[in-house]
Chains A and B, each alone.
Chain A
Amino acid sequence: MTRHDAPDTSIAMLGRLLVYLDGGGAADERRSVEALLRKDAVARDLLRDLAEHAVTVADCRRMAGEGHETSQSLGNRSPLDRQAWRWPAIAAGLVAAAAAAGAFSARPAAPLVIGQVSKAVGATRLFTAAGQIEEGIAPGATVGPGDTLESRSSDAWLATALGDGATLTIAGESVIRVLRPESGERRFDLVEGSLWLDPASGSPAAPVVVRTPAAVLEATGALFDVRSGATETVLRVHAGRVRAARRVDGVVLDVIPGSRCTVSLAADAPLASEPQPDPTGAWRLDPVSIGAAGHGLLRQATADRPASLVAFPLLWREGSHAPVLLHLVGVAVWRASDAPVRIGPDSRFRFRGRTTHPVRIRFGVSTQRMQGVFSGKFEVDVASERQARDGEAFEVDLALADLVPINPMLGDTAEGLEVADIYALTILEDAGLEIESIEIDGRD
């Protein structure tokens, strides 16, 4: 069929398209229309014409003035829509904008700065929009649209001060891209990992948009954290409100303080928030089920050994120092535990594992304030004499007091903080570190 023939067929097909676009029709009929559009070029041709008619009808109305406006239509439209529209005037505006843009581009433009790195610890990396790589980001570095920031290990974190005084922190194997601002919104793409946003107090906050593989989050002046993998995003709101949109179907939900919301690519359930679970004082690593929440290679159980996570090498570089090779086992506890794990005054941290030979092992936790932002790392080095020899299993039992804050210290003690990540590593030397179990044992 061409544009010229079979008008009756066109009328019937248009009728079905109109019902579909109007949101009507039974599910079977809607699927049938979608199938028709996929396979039938004529149906697509009709749909394109219909859409062109729709915008032209509205355009003609604007050109004719607003005299015909009904009260109902005003209710449907934004204030911007109610302005008297005249395309020639808009075109003139565009030309003026073009001229301004031309004048602007005639001289070198200063790069747009979205934020400045205020703290950086551990293995971090910056991919600049210009295509350069900077290993070990130094405090003071500025970031702008197109830049990608990485915290490359469990013990790495990076805080960036935004223009309105808010602080954006990433930690524990996270990747974030800085996007170009739109409509006054600062926009970030959290590719993976965890992000905390702490708004400035006492000054007007600018809107922030955080995109993840599964969600788009919008907030103004809200305190929240986001943990995201390839298919799932967990949002926890601690103050203010955050609007979460599920990317797969556009469903939107406002998440209130004290709530959390899990947004999944599967979209197999209604988007809903729930109260954040009460914290627990106890948690135990299961290497087999840890999956993407763990850093290390899974070694399956054998007749004489339980399953374990084997340390995986990581090149660690801080500032201008020479890179250091680490062998790391790490676990994102926030992803491995349904409830936040709180460190109490009597908490114990028990690591059971093996090395092929005696070696100094560094044990540590990264923390965040309960319902708050990233709160630093606490570590301790354990000398080889405290470990078993010749491949026998060792057990290291650490008290809270054994863990000391690392520079820059955000607090004297980890007491009362939530465990974000827990890790064990050897520095330079590959001692075949394996971790069979980690247990946090404390009172709620």
Chain B
Amino acid sequence: MPLDNPQILSALMPWRTRLSAAAWLVTRDAHAAEDIFQMVAVKAIATEVSFEVEAALVSWAFIAMRHAAIDWVRKRSREEVGLEDGLLDRLDTEWMERRPEGGRLAALRACLEELPAKSRRVLELRYADGMGCAEVAAAVGVGLDAVYKRLSRLHTTLRQCVEGKLIEARGANR
């Protein structure tokens, strides 16, 4: 029996971050990626295509996100789509291999909150404001290499922080 509309939305929501991230890899614009996710979510419930299982819905959603992201890039006359199709396919497939772990998004948000304000600002300038790293460097008054290093460390810190919180949560649930 096909998924009904509430089931489609319930199934899509845990995948929101991954689907938006997949679109971001094409658009490099987090707000556009969010727009695209919303458009795909609406399409999923308004489409004449039916989904028997969550896996079919998720697979369709990754493909729809990619197409919409490429269209978005082309409509803005941006010449560089970036990563080749085969690689994007592989990234999507690996994203789809495992269901998103419950609590990962909450953990990431908590980790972001815990960052010093200066560090958070660098991340926000780069990803929320959509600045290139050279613009971020100018905004915070450091060199370009320093921005790359700072962002690399911040991403690594966030990864470690999230893993730590998830391990903590698993231990608490035993």
Interfacial residues, chain A to chain B (CB-CB below 8 A): 3-4, 7, 10-12, 14-15, 18-19, 21-24, 34, 37-38, 41, 44-62, 68-70, 72-73, 76-78, 80-81, 85, 90-91, 94-95, 97-99, 101-102, 216, 218, 245, 249-252
Contact = CB atoms under 8 A, between A and B. Distances in A.
Interface residues of chain A: helix, strand, loop or mixed (majority): helix
A252 B74 CA distance: 7
A50 B28 CA distance: 11
Interface string B129-168: 1111111000100000000110111011011100100000
Interface residues of chain B: helix, strand, loop or mixed (majority): helix
A85 B34 contact: yes
A95 B9 contact: yes
19 contacts: A3-B159, A3-B160, A12-B152, A19-B148, A47-B25, A48-B91, A48-B94, A51-B21, A51-B22, A56-B17, A56-B105, A57-B127, A58-B31, A58-B128, A59-B17, A60-B109, A73-B131, A81-B32, A252-B74
A94 B134 CA distance: 38
B148 A48 contact: no
Contact of A98 (B9, B25, B73): B9
B124 to A, nearest CB: 6
Interface string B70-98: 10011101111111101100110011000
Interface residues of B, number: 73
Contacts of B83: 34, 37
A72 B156 contact: no
B57 interface: no
Given A69-B129, A70-B129, 9 more contacts: A7-B160, A10-B152, A34-B83, A37-B83, A49-B158, A59-B17, A60-B128, A101-B45, A101-B46
Contact of A94 (B41, B75, B125, B156): B41
A195 to B, nearest CB: 20
Nearest to A37: B87
B63 interface: no
B91 to A, nearest CB: 6
